[in-house]
Chain A
């Protein structure tokens, strides 16, 4: 599905933080994981994901380390810092509140 950009603005950060709160990921893994969990509804673009990861790392939300991979080249794994974990919690709470409010409004309009 093609989403209106307006809806997606701000969700990328929440999505990245949510995935990284489970375990460290490398960027390509985040792309695929978001795609898989959303049944391919979400197709994150590299042009959005990579700068967002670098921005979040510079903001101190993420830490990174290079790990050897069986596939060949080392991969850059991102993980949450303590500040990042706080952000992840905050974003999730905000998102759930917004989603609940929106659901109530949308369902109310059908009643």
Chain B
């Protein structure tokens, strides 16, 4: 890093480097991040009194990405535990939402002793919905931008909380400055082949397990996979209404067509549209839940 003679520029660089290290460290609790930030400020205060001032201290520190990598290694196990917790929580919440949607869509007024009954199509619809949820979670975790990557930037403006008024490192104690969110929840980041392979394998295993247990897993999971693929394809549209409309149209065509191909006879249009609407609700709710949990996770590990 080049040495400068402008103290405020050096201070801004120090602030930027500290934030880069703290964010890259992936410490999954706020207090740990605040302590690291304070420790690094304290380091620069001492090191900045040496040769070259703050510029020299920055140069001596070396590559901030390497330092962040060192910390990341230390806190890797905690980060993974938090990540798995987020994954489980978003999966459970999405699955419960899918059950609720299908219960609401398939509840019928009874004619006999029972006041309410479930439509005969409920088990199949529920299975496909669960497959959609699993597929959505798998695709989300495989296709989204890896956590931490978007924030490792070097062109960010200096911390708002940083004291840039003086030449000393008398800057903020325990600052909690964060990088602006990129809104990466629904963005299409770099594909992670490892995650993709793992998600695919787990999806296949789940479908085989359901097939063995209930005798109908493969078909439902294939249908779920197509719904997820159509959902991802249509969600590239910018406009929310267009996105939902396109997804609904694609789902309806698939449900109607699949029913005919499966030699189950011609499906009346209205039930096909109703089934598609429930699948759309499951799909949209899953994405909303995943985005919310992802945001919460990023906030928790200091990467939002």
- Other-chain contact of A54, B47, B62, B74, B170 (Cβ < 8 Å): B74
Residues of chain B within 8 A (CB-CB) of A58 are: 74
Task: Please tell me which stretch of B37-45, B111-119, B132-140, B142-150 contacts chain A, meaning at least 4 of its Cβ atoms lie within 8 angstroms of it.
Answer: B37-45
Number of cross-chain contacts by CB at 8 Å? 60
B272 within 8 A of A: no
Interface size on A, residues (CB 8 A): 20
CB within 8 Å for A47 and B67 given contacts A54-B74, A71-B46, A72-B170 = yes
Q: Is the interface of B mostly helix, strand, loop or mixed?
A: helix
Cβ–Cβ contact B70 & A73, under 8 A: no
Residues of chain B within 8 A (CB-CB) of A51 are: 67, 70-71, 73-74
B169 within 8 A of A: yes
User: Nearest-CB distance from B70 to chain A (Å)?
Assistant: 3
Cβ–Cβ contact B42 & A73, under 8 A: yes
Cβ–Cβ contact B168 & A76, under 8 A: no
Residues of chain A within 8 A (CB-CB) of B6 are: none
Cβ–Cβ contact A72 & B45, under 8 A: yes
CA A54 to CA B74, docked complex, whole Å: 7
B63 within 8 A of A: yes
CA A58 to CA B77, docked complex, whole Å: 11
User: Nearest-CB distance from B157 to chain A (Å)?
Assistant: 23
Interface size on B, residues (CB 8 A): 26
Binding site for B on A (CB under 8 A): 26-28, 45-48, 50-51, 54-55, 58, 66, 69, 71-76
Jot down 30 A-B pairs with beta carbons below 8 A, ordered by A.
Answer: A26-B42, A27-B43, A28-B47, A45-B62, A46-B43, A46-B60, A46-B67, A47-B61, A47-B62, A47-B66, A47-B67, A48-B70, A50-B39, A51-B67, A51-B70, A51-B71, A54-B75, A58-B74, A66-B38, A71-B45, A71-B46, A72-B45, A72-B169, A73-B38, A73-B41, A73-B173, A74-B38, A74-B173, A76-B35, A76-B38
Binding site for A on B (CB under 8 A): 35-36, 38-43, 45-47, 60-63, 66-67, 70-71, 73-75, 168-170, 173
